[in-house]
Amino acid sequence: MSAAVHAQSGFGAGGGSAAHVATGGLDTTHGVVLYLDGITVSFDGFKALNKLSLSIDVGELRCVIGPNGAGKTTMMDVITGRTRADSGTAYFGQTIDLANLSEAEIAQAGIGRKFQMPTIFERLTVAENVELAMKADKRVRRTLFHRLSSEERDRIAESLRLMRLEAAADRPAGLLSHGEKQWLEIGMLLVQEPKLLLLDEPVAGMSDAETERTAELFLSLAGKHSLVVVEHDMAFIGKIARKVTVLHEGSVLAEGPMQQVQNDPRVIEVYLGR
Amino acid sequence: MSRLYGARGWAILGACSLVVFVVFPLLNLAVPPEHPLHLSAFWVTLAGKIMCYAMVAVAMDLVWGYAGILSLGHGLFFALGGYAMGMYLMRQIGREGQYQSDMPDFMVFLDWKEFPWHWWMTDQFWWALLLIVAVPGLLALVFGYFAFRSRVKGVYFSIITQALTFAAMLLFFRNATGFGGNNGFTDFKRILGFPITTPETRMALFAITGAALIGTLLLARWIVTSKLGRVLAAIRDAEPRVMFCGYDTMHYKVAIFTLSAVLAGIAGALYVPQVGIINPSEMSPANSIEIAIWVAVGGRGTLAGAILGAGLVNGAKSYFTVAFPEYWLFALGAIFILVTLFLPRGVMGLLEHLPGASRHPSSTRRGKTA
């Protein structure tokens, strides 16, 4: 499994060593890929995020946990441009201010996102789903005249093989099982060649075996990509976690290795101990 | 070629072309009027008119069936194309109007001494052609830009397009707007110097309309089978996902909406010389809703279904408005309800169940990707 992932030459954004990934305008010379500082978002007076500060290192695999309403999804919305912060700053690398970019521009800059509910194009085939996600010039005219090169075909096939969806390539994606849809969406993320992946509950609805494979995949991606994983499945978190951030009421409650966080009395009170 | 349609599709298209370009001209022009096989001008005009409607339906299917944008203002773009052609046709009347003036009759009647500014150059055919494309296109571009930039979608977009066409209708009803008020334009005499009511001119307009319809269909088919077509379908199914894939969906929506408006405008321009009149009632909100009904009846997201739907509904309308004029709107409503309840994929969905039909006539897929 992990060997197969490493063979995906196209997936690695910055090569093996994670210290300097400075491709495509992303400047991570200080080793930080994402930097949130004092982000506040309120909806009708309710503070979904309250002075949230967080930084993700290049190549890191960070798990974010927290009770419902802690602001996990809102945080992803802010990073991907779907929601604008009322105050605070969000930087991608040293130089890219996310507040100035649209969703599409943020995606092109190298942030990929998987939604909580698997979101794929139900009426297109599985292969077409991957085709649309694949890194390319995504402007209207280029898209109209775009023809699949054999190299691109190979990459689609490769990605489907990795996601174990080759047999379903020409079937409408809407016919896939829930777990397969999750995998397809992860595969779509990877062919986008993002430098930072945001994964919102990626193993929800997966069987144990599928969850196991997903954990292996994520571990093999870390280092080449930076990952932020939001999950409720503590067994899954336990498998992949290095550093865990606990959100509560819109800000960071605790941060550190899984063991330390699990034993933090404040965390136990708001989340784990109930 | 093979990307657009399979052998079966091209055969059907070939047969339809044969009817339009050979059978109709022969039966109308070559067969003498007293012969039972003679096709009268009534049928030629009716079929020409329906082909114009079919063009709008294809344009509508592009935005609604593929990109999921339900525009209920396409009647406006159709009418604007028609008015652009109508201005030229008014200028072609010359001094043969009631008042034997260089100015159109309605302007003489209003005691206007010179043409309003927007009539500038309208005696030139090439200028009319430019207006036919540019006016609906620019309106759709500007309107679409602001609507899609503000993320107006779904039923809200449908409602503001209804408001747009209604506002335009009120504007065109005013005499002062300079488009003949509620009477619009009529009494056309010539087009490009040819008398407009002779069987030959009529047949020429009919054949041009047929060619335009086939061209529209092939262009639309080419678009929906391209990667752009797949992006449009993806926007329809899950727009946020498309944005997070790195596509600026606003540009896609503006582009397809504008193209669709231009196609509707061309259809309107071909419609006016054939039916001989254009007035603001073409912009009534109900007209635009009817366009959506044609597409729904035929089957959304199939293109061919749009043509079929326009033909079936307008065929039924021609029959009903003669046989039971007061019941047409009830019949139309009943058709729409029945199709929505029992044929969610329209007549094309029904045809798919016929033996020998291909499995994926509506699919946007192309060959094997992997």
Q: Which 3 state secondary structure label does DSSP give A220?
A: helix
Whether residues A138 and B245 touch (CB distance < 8 A) is answered with yes
Pairing verdict, β A96-97 and A87-92: antiparallel
Residue B220 Rama label (left phi>0; alpha psi -120 to 50; beta): alpha
**What pLDDT, in 10s, does the model give residues A94-150?**
899 999 899 999 999 999 999 888 899 999 999 999 999 999 999 999 999 999 999
Q: Is residue A241 part of a domain?
A: yes
Q: Which 3 state secondary structure label does DSSP give A133?
A: helix
Q: Is residue A163 part of a domain?
A: no
For residue B238, the chain A residues in CB contact (below 8 A) are 119-122
Q: Is residue A166 part of a domain?
A: no
**CA atoms of A213 and A2, how far apart (whole Å):** 10
Q: Which two tokens stand for residue B309?
A: 């739907």
Q: Which residues of B touch A (CB under 8 A)?
A: 223, 226-228, 230-231, 233-234, 237-238, 240-249, 251-252, 255, 364-365, 368-370
**CA atoms of B52 and B74, how far apart (whole Å):** 13
**CA atoms of B3 and A168, how far apart (whole Å):** 22
Q: Which two tokens stand for residue B141?
A: 């571009």
**CA atoms of B215 and B127, how far apart (whole Å):** 22
Number of domains in chain A: 1
Q: Which 3 state secondary structure label does DSSP give B116?
A: coil
Contacts of B261 (CB under 8 A, 6+ apart): B59, B74, B77, B136, B137, B139, B140
pLDDT score of A11? 38
**CA atoms of B315 and B300, how far apart (whole Å):** 19
- Among residues A191, A3, A122, A26, the alpha carbon closest in space to that of B245 is found at A191
pLDDT score of B268? 98
Q: Of B234, B244, B248, which is closest to A124 when you measure between CB atoms?
A: B234
Helices B227-244 and A126-133 sit at what angle, rounded to 10 degrees? 70
Q: What is the mean pLDDT of residues A212-231?
A: 91
Residues B71/B161, Cβ–Cβ less than 8 Å = yes
pLDDT score of A15? 36
Q: Is residue A2 part of a domain?
A: no
For residue A83, the chain B residues in CB contact (below 8 A) are none
| pLDDT > 90 fraction of chain A, expressed in percent and rounded | 62
pLDDT score of B344? 87
- When comparing pLDDT for A264 and B146, which is higher? B146
Q: Is residue A158 part of a domain?
A: no
Q: Which residues of A touch B (CB under 8 A)?
A: 80, 82, 102-105, 107-108, 112-113, 115, 119-125, 127-128, 130-133, 135, 138-140, 143-146, 148, 153, 156-157, 160, 166, 169-170, 188, 192
Contacts of B22 (CB under 8 A, 6+ apart): none
* One-letter amino acid of B100: Q
Helices A150-162 and A126-133 sit at what angle, rounded to 10 degrees? 120
Q: Does A244 score more than 70 pLDDT?
A: yes
Residue-range definition of the domain harbouring residue A54: 18-122+193-272
Q: Is residue A26 part of a domain?
A: yes
**CA atoms of B35 and A115, how far apart (whole Å):** 69
Look up the ipTM and state it: 0.86
Q: How far off is chain B from A274, nearest CA to CA, in Å? A: 35
- Among residues B188, B225, B281, B242, the alpha carbon closest in space to that of B62 is found at B225
**CA atoms of B146 and B140, how far apart (whole Å):** 10
**CA atoms of A245 and A256, how far apart (whole Å):** 7
**CA atoms of B250 and B18, how far apart (whole Å):** 40
**CA atoms of B61 and B294, how far apart (whole Å):** 10
Q: How far off is chain B from A265, nearest CA to CA, in Å? A: 38
How many other C-beta atoms are found inside a 10 Å radius of the C-beta of residue B348?
23
pLDDT score of B215? 98
Give the start-end residues of each E strand in chain A: 32-43, 46-57, 61-65, 87-92, 96-97, 111-114, 196-200, 226-230, 243-248, 251-257
Q: Is residue A174 part of a domain?
A: no
Residues of chain B with confidence (pLDDT) below 50: 359-370
pLDDT category at A267 given cuts 50, 70, 90 is confident
pLDDT score of A69? 84
pLDDT score of B363? 42
For residue B240, the chain A residues in CB contact (below 8 A) are 82, 103, 115, 119
Residues A25/A96, Cβ–Cβ less than 8 Å = yes
Q: Does A77 score more than 90 pLDDT?
A: yes
Torsion on CA atoms A133, A217, A209, A125, rounded to nearest 10: 10
Three-class DSSP labels, B236-274: HHHHHHHHHCCCCHHHHHHHHHHHHHHHHHHHHHHHHHH
Pairing verdict, β A226-230 and A61-65: parallel
pLDDT score of A232? 82
Give the start-end residues of each E strand in chain B: 185-186, 190-191, 194-195, 277-278
CA distances from A159 to A10, A124, A273, B212, B232 (A): 10, 17, 40, 42, 23
pLDDT category at A24 given cuts 50, 70, 90 is low
pLDDT category at A8 given cuts 50, 70, 90 is very low
CATH number of the domain where residue A214 is located: 3.40.50.300
**What pLDDT, in 10s, does the model give residues A141-200?**
999 999 999 999 999 999 999 889 999 999 999 999 988 999 999 999 999 999 999 999
Whether residues A120 and B238 touch (CB distance < 8 A) is answered with yes
Whether residues B365 and A128 touch (CB distance < 8 A) is answered with yes
- Among residues A229, A235, A233, the alpha carbon closest in space to that of A62 is found at A229
Q: Is residue A167 part of a domain?
A: no
Helices B328-342 and B304-323 sit at what angle, rounded to 10 degrees? 150
CA distances from A138 to A260, B50, B245 (A): 44, 38, 9
Whether residues A153 and B370 touch (CB distance < 8 A) is answered with yes
What does the DSSP 8-state code read for residue B19?
A: I
pLDDT score of A19? 36
Q: Does A271 score more than 90 pLDDT?
A: no
